[in-house]
Every structure is written in structure tokens, then in C-alpha cells.
Amino acid sequence: MKIKDGFVLRQVASSYVVMNIGGELSFNKMITLNESGALIWNALADGLSAEEAAKRITSEYEVSYEVALNDVNSFIEKMKEAGVIE
């Protein structure tokens, strides 16, 4: 899985926004993420697998690996549905 070319994450005040800066022109959605969503996004952008991203989550938050992996997989599915992850 990979974030499609042209999509980037930017911090705007205390929120995070996924923006299209040259990728698919038909993308007309705004995706806002919280801090943990941004952490998952950055893990995926770094080329980490879902399992590795879950480990990163557990190092930042007091959550079990199983819960973190479930959250990461849910995030990935939502991003695929939005068309920003291949």
C-alpha cells in the first residue's frame, strides 16, 4: 500500500489536513485528521507496513498492539475508499 502521488499532509492550527497538490484532479474532498491519524499517515508515508505503524502507535499512546492494529487497518480502509491510498 502506498499514498498516491500528489497527496500530502499539512498541519493547520491544531488540525491536520490531507491535500492534493498535483495528483488526481478529480479529488474534491477535504480530509481532516486528528493527531493519531496524522501519526498513522506519516508512518505510511515513511513506507511502514500496517503492523509497523501499529507498533509506532503503541510507542506514542497507551493502547494495546491489537487495538492499534485494528485502528491502523480501519484508517487504511477509509483512505482507500477516499482514493488517496493505492
Phi first, then psi: give them for residue 30, nearest 5 degrees: -115, 125
Q: Where are the domains of the chain?
A: 7-82
Count how many residues are written for the chain: 86
C-alpha cell, 65: 498492539
Question: What spatial distance separates the first Cα and last Cα of the chain, rounded to whole Å?
Answer: 5
Per-residue pLDDT for 83 more than 60? yes
Which pLDDT band, with edges at 50, 70 and 90, does 6 fall under?
A: confident
Per-residue pLDDT for 25 more than 80? no
Which pLDDT band, with edges at 50, 70 and 90, does 47 fall under?
A: very high
Query: Do residues 33 and 16 lie in contact, with contact meaning Cβ atoms separated by under 8 Å?
Result: yes
